[in-house]
Structure 1
Amino acid sequence: MTSSQPGSARPSPPSESTPAKSTGRPLSPTEQRNPASSGLDDLDTLGVLRVLNAEDRAVIDAVAAALPQLAELVDIAADRMRRGGRVHYFGAGTSGRLGVLDASELLPTFNLEPGRVIGHIAGGQAALVNAVENAEDSGADGSAAGAELGPDDVAIGIAASGSTPYVGGALDAARANGAHTVLISNNPHASLAAKVDVHIVLDTGPEVITGSTRLKAGTAQKLTLNGFSTALMVALGRTWDNLMVSVVATNAKLRERTVRILREAADLDDADARTLLERCDGDLKTAIVVSFTEAAPSLAASTLETHDGSVRAAIAELVGADAPTESDKASGPDDTGPGTVGA
């Protein structure tokens, strides 16, 4: 391969993506040929990468167009989780793996209790590593997984084509039990859209490799799940300002991170931050509340529990005023209210 531009040795596909011919429903864009990658195998390596990179730019716009719907979903999910509900992702192949990945990151990053956000993949854990034949075609398996949900839960089906039987079975069963149901797909004409309360479309168009939805479709799904779960954790008080105050310090790197976060949040030097963390049994949120209020660690911890772990709400209650921000802390006692230390 020597050319850096799409070559002419290969017959070009139609100038527009090929529509479905055998059914009344349009073929999913993810299954159509992409004229922009015509002659891909005649390109040199840099040329292939440039085509991929150029096509990836469509991903950001597709996700941006879905943000209003995504914001509504975050608010609904946060409300239900405050009532004890859960969020469940359902998917097959790449989509299923992305859901499991997103759910698994929430414990170490935000100290979210196990079982609050759960990823389900067609074919079970084995499918995380290797493809499980016909797993995505089992609507019965999806139905069995979706039947676990209740009226306080949120079911999010992830499917590039929007037609995966496993996902459809899960959404049907979840909706029958009163769960709020959502489909995230890359197909504006997804057949499963009729089964859900909300259809979030990530219109990324045809793939560089026809049908390879691990590319643009998967990238858009990953960005969407990143945004959804991060905004959800912010809404649930799992951050303070832009700091990862709920981090679980399970190794040396994360223990050092908690020290740095406390230093930033409370404007402390290294030694004082380590001493305060020790007083608070290593609990970063408790240490931040103590630093702003001079409350005893036990009172700070119990106030946090009363407010579902929200540092801002706990500080507001203990100082009897609006909770200060991290920048307020650094600016001095007059800006942070009574009882402030370390300014």
Structure 2
Amino acid sequence: MKTDRRQWMALALAATALIAGGAAAQTYPDKTISLVVAYPPGGDSDATARLFADKLSQRLKQTVIVENKPGAGGTLGNTYVSRAKPDGYTLLFTPNPFTTAPMVLKLAPSASYDVLHGFEPVVLTAMQSVLLVTHPDSGIKTVADLVAQAKAGKQLTYASPGAGSPMHIVAEWLNRAAGIQVQHVPFRGVGPMIPDMLAGRVTMGYATLGAVEAHLKTGKLVAVALTDGERSPLVPNLSTVAEQGYKDVKLGAWNGIFAPKGTPPSVVKLLNEHMNEILRMPDVVEKMATFGSRPVGGKPEALAKINADDHARLSKLIKDLNIQAD
């Protein structure tokens, strides 16, 4: 079979890319790595990223820094990473609003990113429980209490870490299921919403366990229900929204690490291997539990799958509930 000039050129380019990828694996990393978090300091995403950055620094023998780039429901930082050079030196640590925020915010293509095809998945780091918590002065201790107050005409508000977050979606889902209307108050991450929750400026909030656990122990906040599909071993005595009468309302949270599209497979493989080792470290497992996280790990495909599954499932739910940025 005769090979023409264009075919030879294509083969040459492929060979060059393969060699370059091999070279990248041999030298990577030879400079500082940035682990971008699209939320402000103070939340559990930031704290978890700093834990991973420290462990990666030790294993890679290279500095790994956390770079906070908050704004636009997390899409600012996510978009920044999607456009970074795909060399493994700019990574994204993100919770699952990564998947849903662009649908809710309806950003222009120039200000957004391709959720399904714009990144290289590295590792699914953890699953997190989402809790509905209230200020003790609200008198709300169960979902039934919440529904009763709302139907009696009391003006209630709920905090979420941003439009398009799992917390925003599940709150509106419960609103519809219960036939009530609790007003959404979005914040720029979990950390910034905690002071308003503690001060009672919002009636309730939907947050990951790590962000509120200390305040639950002191009685400054009250745990009402989990929004997960099942109870969490981290708070085994807390029942779910489904158990409290709204069986279809089930939504938890996850987080993971992505790299820009086109990052060499050898670099992704190296990072995945290190992160899987990190996620098995007893001190990491213990620390993650304080953030309300359960380590997962596995191949990059696990992160790709949960991202794609959420995209398909939640895009329909967002449309059905008419969820939009406030």
Fold shared per TM-score above 0.5:
no
Structure label with greater radius of gyration: 1
> Which of the five TM-score ranges fits, normalised by the shorter chain?
under 0.3
Structure having the larger proportion of residues in strand:
2
TM-score (structure 1 length as normaliser): 0.25
Question: TM-score scaled to structure 2, two decimals?
Answer: 0.25
Q: Which has the higher helix share?
A: 1
